[in-house]
Amino acid sequence: MTTDQTPPTVRMIIGGAQVDGADGRTFDVVEPHAGTTIARVAEGTPADVDRAVAAAQAAFDSGWATITAAERARLMFRLAQVVRDHHEELSQLESRNIGKPISGARWEIGRVADVIEFYAGATTKLHGETIPVTRPGFDFTLREPIGVVGLIVPWNFPLYLASWKLGPALAAGNTVVLKPASYSPLTAVRFGELALEAGLPAGVVNVVTGPGGTVGAAIAAHHGIGKVGFTGETATGQEIMRLAAGNIKKISLELGGKSPNIVFADADLERFAAESPYSVFDNCGQDCCARSRILVERSVHDKVVALFAEATKKVKVGDPSDPATEVGPLVSFRQRDRVAAYVEAGRAEGAELVVGGVPPTDPALSRGAYLLPAVFDRATTEMKIVREEIFGPVVAVIPFDSEDEAVRLANATPYGLSGSVWTRDIGRAIRVSKGIQTGVISVNCNNSVHIEAPFGGYKMSGLGRDLGMDALREYTEVKNVFVDLS
Ligand code: NAD
């Protein structure tokens, strides 16, 4: 990207070519650190989705699904290497586009290559079963690709979350139509170009940019698409379910969260306080797994709040291009104002703002969408800041008196994505992990994501699983074949 007066134009990737939208319109991409327009991006339309689906179907029919798994693996390993070769370029693009600290962007792009590599390796390990049915004969299953799949992704970890779906979808032999969020289309388009550079046939990876309400909805409703893999807000996921009903599309949904961080009095409180600010303020709180509720045993409440507030003050908020920066701006001024309104609501409802919640005073950050990480104490389950996903750097502390109460509070939300339990009592760690209704639990840490293990939500946090071998199966149909031997 350049800082010239005229920002570069970025086109979609359909059928291996860079193309404008059908009606020639573009939208601006604004970087949130300084508020400048850094790209004009083709604004797709439902007609462009039709074109992309046709290109993906042609690529599917002409061999992506039927080449050997080993050949698909070889191309995907090459793709991972091409991503590594462009690691710094992609990291800079991601950081600038959404104000993500460069250190975090570099980590994520490295993980994108890791995810593609994991699924490249998994390509040759996907197999069916033989089943001892009672009739005389031979019964076996095949894992077949679904066909053309639509992938709709959010802006908080743009290319990283796209890779969670691209990896298994491609490995299983599907071709894809990828739609990045309007805030963050730049690395997705570049990925589409790099897939071609790596030798993936034209039409295997198509990237259509544009608004969710038109392009995303057209993908979700399209009868030429057999499955949609989606990550985003729960309300959008509900809309996608409705749109997908027309052709009984398969769907995987990774949705919102309001994850608990549960601290028992016997835990290593210093370690909890040192590590946990990043579990909610990392990526400026724009993380589906953000531990936005701290549930703390009452006997250590004051100590934990003091330690956590001290650690929060040390989090380095600043210019995303500075390698020392830990937390950058929110993705947009709109999002910053939304989060600031939650801070106001917390105050109005009687929670105590212990630290943060205001823009930084550093003049170098005055043009950006910044807000200092906020810690609310004395919160209750009725408050808006405890009930709703804020998707910003705000955490609410609630005390509890017993293990049962901790589990009850943890589950007092329609969401069920992730959570942490801090205790030195192994029995309690296991009891509480089993009692919490979330798809992912971390004990004495906050790590929710492992490429090799399933990730996803209970309740209104989702449907299906990303990552691990579970995700690979989500991008297949199972065919059962019975051969009569009587
Ligand atoms: P969003 O739902 O607004 O948008 C996500 C994607 O859906 C974007 O590409 C958007 O353009 C598209 N979209 C919007 N309306 C659509 C429609 N009617 N039909 C089809 N597509 C449509 O979400 P966001 O603001 O980009 O991301 C933040 C949300 O994502 C948060 O709720 C967060 O918790 C969630 N999230 C979940 C996970 C997870 O794995 N569970 C991971 C990251 C983010």
Residue percentage of the chain with pLDDT more than 70? 99
288 is catalytic: yes
Atom of ligand 1 nearest to the CA of 457: 41
Residue 124 Cα to ligand 1 middle (Å): 32
Q: Is 283 in the pocket of ligand 1 (CB under 6 A)?
A: no
Give the span between the Cα atoms of 171 and 113, in whole angstroms: 14
State the burial class of residue 103 (Cβ atoms within 10 Å of its Cβ: 0-12, 13-18, 19+).
Answer: middle
Name the residue type at position 216: G
Give the span between the Cα atoms of 324 and 440, in whole angstroms: 30
The first and second tokens of residue 306, run together, are 């003091």
Give the span between the Cα atoms of 205 and 170, in whole angstroms: 9
Residue 324 Cα to ligand 1 middle (Å): 29
Atom of ligand 1 nearest to the CA of 237: 2
Atom of ligand 1 nearest to the CA of 157: 43
Residue closest to 333 by CA, chosen among 363, 359, 361:
359
Residue 240 Cα to ligand 1 middle (Å): 10
Answer whether 368's CB lies under 8 Å from 333's CB.
Answer: no
CB neighbour list of residue 179: distance below 8 Å, 6 or more residues apart: 44, 150, 151, 152, 153, 207, 208, 209, 210, 212, 215, 216, 219
Residue percentage of the chain with pLDDT more than 90? 97
Q: Which is the catalytic residue, given 117, 284, 288, 474?
A: 288
Answer whether 357's CB lies under 8 Å from 313's CB.
Answer: no
Block residue for tokens 């800082």: 3
* pLDDT tens for each residue of 161-177: 999 999 999 999 999 99
Give the span between the Cα atoms of 452 and 38, in whole angstroms: 36
Give the span between the Cα atoms of 10 and 190, in whole angstroms: 9
At 65, the pLDDT band (50, 70, 90 cuts) reads: confident
Atom of ligand 1 nearest to the CA of 254: 41
What's the confidence (pLDDT) of residue 2?
Answer: 41
Q: Is 256 in the pocket of ligand 1 (CB under 6 A)?
A: yes
Residue 55 Cα to ligand 1 middle (Å): 25
Q: Whose CA is nearest to atom 8 of ligand 1?
A: 181
**Mean pLDDT, residues 440-469:** 98
- HSE-CB for 452 with a 13 A CA cutoff: 1
Residue 129 Cα to ligand 1 middle (Å): 36
What percent of the residues of the chain are helix, what percent strand, and what percent coil, each to the nearest 5? 40, 20, 40
Give the span between the Cα atoms of 406 and 409, in whole angstroms: 5
Q: Is 231 in the pocket of ligand 1 (CB under 6 A)?
A: yes
pTM: 0.96
Block residue for tokens 């990283």: 160
End-to-end alpha carbon distance in the chain: 68
254 is catalytic: yes
* pLDDT tens for each residue of 18-42: 999 999 999 999 998 988 999 999 9
What is the DSSP secondary-structure string of 372-419?
--EEEES--TTSHHHHS---SSEEEEEEESSHHHHHHHHT-SS--S--
Q: Whose CA is nearest to atom 23 of ligand 1?
A: 232
* pLDDT tens for each residue of 257-296: 999 999 999 999 999 999 999 999 999 999 999 999 999 9
Give the span between the Cα atoms of 230 and 405, in whole angstroms: 34
Which among 97, 233, 242 is the best mutation to test ligand 1's pocket, defined by most ligand atoms within 8 Å of the CB? 233
Q: Which is the catalytic residue, given 31, 108, 239, 254?
A: 254
Residue closest to 110 by CA, chosen among 84, 147, 128:
84
Distances 434 to 149, 325, 417 between C-alpha atoms, Å: 34, 37, 14
What's the confidence (pLDDT) of residue 66?
Answer: 84
Residue 231 Cα to ligand 1 middle (Å): 5
Q: Whose CA is nearest to atom 42 of ligand 1?
A: 288
**Mean pLDDT, residues 319-342:** 96
Q: Is 407 in the pocket of ligand 1 (CB under 6 A)?
A: no
pLDDT surpasses 60 at 1: no
Which among 97, 164, 236 is the best mutation to test ligand 1's pocket, defined by most ligand atoms within 8 Å of the CB? 236
What's the confidence (pLDDT) of residue 3?
Answer: 46
Give the 3-state DSSP-derived string for 444-475, with helices as H, strands as E and coil as C.
CCCCCCCCCCCECCCHHHEECCECHHHHHHHC
